[in-house]
Structure 1
């Protein structure tokens, strides 16, 4: 598999997991007319990255071990 194909596969995987990722992250939405500060955006990005890792691990465990 070429590098561009790997990148596309990772992007598709992320998009497929996005609803689970956001649910695991538990981040509130911004109030209408209010915006997050750069520091808040960075903190939210870190939370989403961590939730992505947890989501991938969860899916892997379910595929390998099944649902108990």
Structure 2
């Protein structure tokens, strides 16, 4: 599913849900998925709750991860 085509901006919950839905048994995109997890971990450490929107810089970083996949 395309998480970036939704009308509403992206929340931390939606980003985590999308990232967790990636099935990669061979680990071919593991590096990119890890980069996404690190972005979301940083968002959580900054105090962003699950239903808050990702701020611009974090949204852009997460979008780069999305594009890499």
Q: TM-score range by the shorter chain?
A: 0.3 to 0.5
- Indicate the structure (1 or 2) with the bigger Cα radius of gyration: 1
Q: Output the TM-score relative to the length of structure 1.
A: 0.35
